Amino acid sequence: WPESLWRATAPFVAPSPRLEGEQRADVAIIGAGFTGLRAALELAQAGSDVVVVDAGDVGWGASGRNGGQVNPMMPFNGPEQLRKLLGPQHFERLAEASLKSADDLFDTIARHGIDCQARQNGWLRVIHSAKAHQAALRDVAEWRAMGAEFELVEGEALWKIAGTRAYRSGVVSPRGGAVQPLMLAQGFAEAARRHGARIFGQSPVTDLSRASGGVWEIQTKEGVVRAPMVIVATNAYS
């Protein structure tokens, strides 16, 4: 494991077993980061038999080594720009998911009793220039018209939040916050296991192919997973 603050402050968790021999499942997931683990949790809760395999272990990649910020903002373009870029249907779905993402995460953490130092105390995007400030005024107004709780702050209000006068202004999202990301990944894994998911580490996938009958085969050096459905939830390391 690479050394990090998160690794140093997370409680010890026994490594996931290696994949050996044959495993069968309803759904096989490649990748034990946030995407794969959350998918495993949701599927296992719904009654699916789930197997997760990872080349490292739970949270080894970006999921366990990010800044831990929970930010429900989309890339800060106004809704009209994004609607033109994505099209109305995709934009509406993405905007709804993004604006609800922080509440969804913190609700999931509470529902499963995940200890990850979660704090839903807001998130601040700071702004340096007058040009960016004017753009933020427009964008915040457009997002608020869609129901977002974003607020543009400056002067004393900004200083009280940021503790510095180095910025021109800032946009606050009160639904945001922070987590200890490695502990969150470990918590997702433990919750998924409680619902029956099987998670294997130190098992790099060497081949993914269709077998007879439409079943997928995930090959590793020491084992194989067979499932009719596969979710590829890998990151830059793959």
**pLDDT tens digit sequence for 147-179:** 899 999 999 999 999 999 999 999 999 999 999
Residue 237 in domain: no
Residue 151: inside a domain? yes
Q: Would you list the DSSP string of 90-118?
A: HHHHHHHHHHHHHHHHHHHHHHTT--S--
If one counts the domains in the chain, the total is: 2
In a domain? residue 238: no
75 pLDDT higher than 80? no
Residues 97 and 165 in one domain: yes
Q: Would you say residue 112 has pLDDT above 90? A: yes
Query: Considering the domain boundaries, does residue 152 fall inside one?
Result: yes
Q: Which of 31, 73, 72 is nearest to 50 (CA)?
A: 31
Query: How confident is the model over 5-9, as a mean pLDDT?
Result: 96
Residues 101 and 43 in one domain: no
Instruction: Calculate the alpha carbon distances from 126 to 133, 153, 162, 174 in Å.
Output: 10, 9, 9, 14
Regarding whether 136 and 98 lie in a shared domain, the answer is yes
Rounded to whole angstroms, how far apart are CA atoms 186 and 107?
Answer: 17
**Pairing of the two strands 205-210 and 216-220:** antiparallel
pLDDT digit string (tens) for 113-152?
Answer: 999 999 999 999 999 999 999 999 999 998 898 889 999 9
**Percent of the chain clearing pLDDT 90 (strictly above):** 87
Same domain, 158 and 107: yes
Two tokens, residue 9: 């402050």
| 53 and 28 within one domain | yes
pLDDT greater than 80 at residue 77:
no
Residues 61 and 76 grouped into a single domain: no
The answer to whether residues 58 and 148 belong to one domain is: no
By C-alpha distance, which of 171, 148, 147 is closest to 158?
Answer: 171
Range of the domain at 129: 69-178
Q: What is the CATH number of the domain that holds 185?
A: 3.50.50.60
Which range has the worst mean pLDDT, 2-11, 70-79, 99-108?
70-79
Same domain, 191 and 169: no
Distance from the Cα of residue 176 to its chain's centroid: 13
Q: Which of 136, 155, 178 is the last residue of a domain?
A: 178
- Asked if residue 202 and residue 154 are part of one domain, the reply reads no
